[in-house]
Amino acid sequence: MNFSIQETELAGLWLVQPKVFKDDRGFFMEVFNAASFHSLGLQYPFLQDNLSHSTKNTVRGLHYQAEPFAQGKLVTVLQGDVLDVVVDIRKSSPTYGKAASFQLTENNRQMLFIPPGFAHGFSVLSETCLFFYKCTQVYNKASEGGLRWNDPALSIDWLVNQPILSEKDQELPLLADLLSPFE
C-alpha cells in the first residue's frame, strides 16, 4: 500500500500520508490511486483538478459548494508551506462549527481529504506556494458559499500577520449567520 490514512478529530476528515520513494535523483510518489483509496474507505470519484499559485501571507477561504455540486477535496502542497484549515459545517455533526488546521508542506508531502460538508481554506507560510486540489465535483459558481476567515467564533490562528485576501473572502458571513446547506 502506497498510502496510510489517519482519522482526525472531525469525522470524515482524513490526513493522508503517501509513501515517498527517495534516491539520489529526487523522489517519486503516487498522489492518487483509485484502488488504494477505495481499499482505505475513501470511495469518492474525482471529477476536477485545480492548481493555485499564491504568495506569502495569502489567505484563501473559507469556501464550500452546496448540493448538488458539493465537493470533497484531496489537497496537497506541491511547492511551499501552508496552514490548511477546515471547519465542519454539517448541522447534525457533533463537531459542527469546529475548526481544525494542518501544516501541509512540500517536505512532509501530506495530503488532506476533506469530504463535502466542510468549509476549507489555507494561508501561505512560505514565499510562494503551489497548492493542488482533486475535487469530487466540478466547480459551480451558483453553489459556492463560505465563512469569514477571521470569525472570532472560530478562533483560527492563520499564522500570518498581514493577510492578503480577496474582496469576496472579506465579505463572507460569520458562522452565527451561516445557513448551512449540509445536514
Active site residues: 63, 133
Sign of CA dihedral 80, 160, 99, 143: negative
The C-alpha atoms of residue 14 and residue 182 are separated, in whole angstroms, by 19
CA 162 vs CA 37, 44, 102, 124, 178: distances in Å: 38, 37, 20, 11, 26
Cβ atoms of 63 and 119 within 8 Å: the answer is: yes
Residue type, 57: N
